[in-house]
Structures are given as C-alpha cells and as structure tokens.
C-alpha cells in the first residue's frame, strides 16, 4: 500500500525499502515536451510559456507540443509567443482542446502542425476593445458562437442521455466560430483527433 510523504503525495516503497518519489504532472509534461496554454493570455502566461519553450529548445530540437484551451487575451503577449516560436529550432505542434478563441486561435494556427480535438471550436474576430459599445456591434456573431457551442454540447449530452430536442434551448449568435470539421475544411488545422 502506498504511503504518503510529508506533502501527502503518494510514494511507493519497494521491497528493499527505497522510497521512490513520483514526479509531479507538470514535471512529466515538461519532460515529454508538453506546454500548456490553459488560461487568458497575459504577460505572465506569455513569460512562462516563453521560458518553457526556450528551455526545451536549448535541450534538444525535437517538436514541442503546445496544448491550447483559452478564450484569448492580450494581443501583444500573444504576438510575443508567436515571435518566439518562429525563433526556435524546435517545431511547435499546437493542439486545440475545447476552444481557442481570439488571440489563442491566432497562436494555434501558427503551429508547425496544427491539431484540434473533435469537440473543439475556434473563434476569429477583428481586434476590438471592451471599453466601447462594440459589444452590440458583434452581438449577432456572439449568439452564433454560443449556438455552435451548444450544438457540440447537445451532441455529447444526447449521446449519453435521452433528453428530447424540445428540452434544449438554442441560441443563435456568435462571431466566426469554426467547429473542428470546419477548421480542417478551411485549412485552420491539419488534423482532428
């Protein structure tokens, strides 16, 4: 039975009483050249990702996988990431999981090889600030985006439940949201997983 160390992380004790401390998930991912963009893009996130990819690139030049689940964020921080990716000797493989919206979608399409999971969406829109009344200008597009997300969720839930079509509310608004199939069709990604 595994014992726990002082940090309550499970450890395995072998027959010769050697304690093996397991690696943390982030250490395993780093060792496997996996980097995660799983939040809004800001200067702090960009700094972390730049530090990770440049460190990995300095060790060896095999591909680095960037997994993306983000609603977007700072354009300058995102552009800094893209610029650094172009300076690396290692190829960057991007994998969209769930969504890559706004600046995250721009980063995703810059991968050397671009992958999207089958239930993911990507959003592209023109730059706009949140300080003006531009929300109303894009209201129709936003309703369409929610509708596509609901359709994907509906398919998943319908597969596992017996809810009727009448039990689901549909929303009709959005920007340019693309499903995984649409991303493949229009050359936004190279593969659907």
Query: 62 burial class (0-12, 13-18, 19+ CB within 10 angstroms)?
Result: exposed
Active site residue 102: yes
Active site residue 91: no
User: Which candidate, 99, 102, 112, places its Cα nearest to that of 179?
Assistant: 99
Q: Which of 125, 128, 132, 160 is catalytic?
A: 125
Number of H helices, E strands in the chain: 7, 10
**Which residues make Cβ contacts (< 8 Å) with residue 18, sequence separation at least 6?**
none
Using the 8-state DSSP alphabet, how is residue 93 labeled? E
Q: Which of 70, 90, 102, 105 is catalytic?
A: 102
Q: Determine contact, residues 108/76, Cβ cutoff 8 Å.
A: no
Report, as residue numbers or ranges, the catalytic residues: 102, 125
């Amino acid at each position: 039975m595994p014992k726990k160390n002082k940090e309550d992380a499970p450890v395995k004790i072998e027959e010769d009483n050697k304690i093996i401390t397991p690696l943390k998930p982030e250490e395993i991912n780093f060792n496997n050249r996996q980097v995660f963009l799983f939040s809004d893009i800001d200067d702090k996130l960009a700094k972390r990702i730049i530090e990770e990819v440049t460190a990995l690139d300095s060790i060896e030049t095999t591909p680095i996988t960037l997994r993306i689940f983000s609603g977007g964020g700072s354009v300058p921080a995102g552009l800094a990431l893209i610029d650094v990716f172009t300076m690396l000797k290692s190829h960057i493989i991007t994998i969209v999981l769930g969504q890559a919206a706004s600046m995250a979608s721009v980063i995703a399409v810059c991968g050397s090889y671009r992958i999207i999971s089958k239930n993911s969406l990507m959003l592209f829109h023109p730059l706009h600030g949140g300080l003006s009344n531009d929300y109303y200008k894009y209201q129709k597009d936003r309703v369409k985006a929610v509708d596509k997300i609901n359709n994907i969720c509906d398919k998943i839930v319908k597969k596992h439940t017996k809810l009727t079509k009448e039990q689901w509310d549909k929303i009709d608004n959005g920007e340019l949201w693309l499903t995984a199939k649409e991303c493949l069709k229009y050359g936004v990604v190279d593969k659907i997983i």
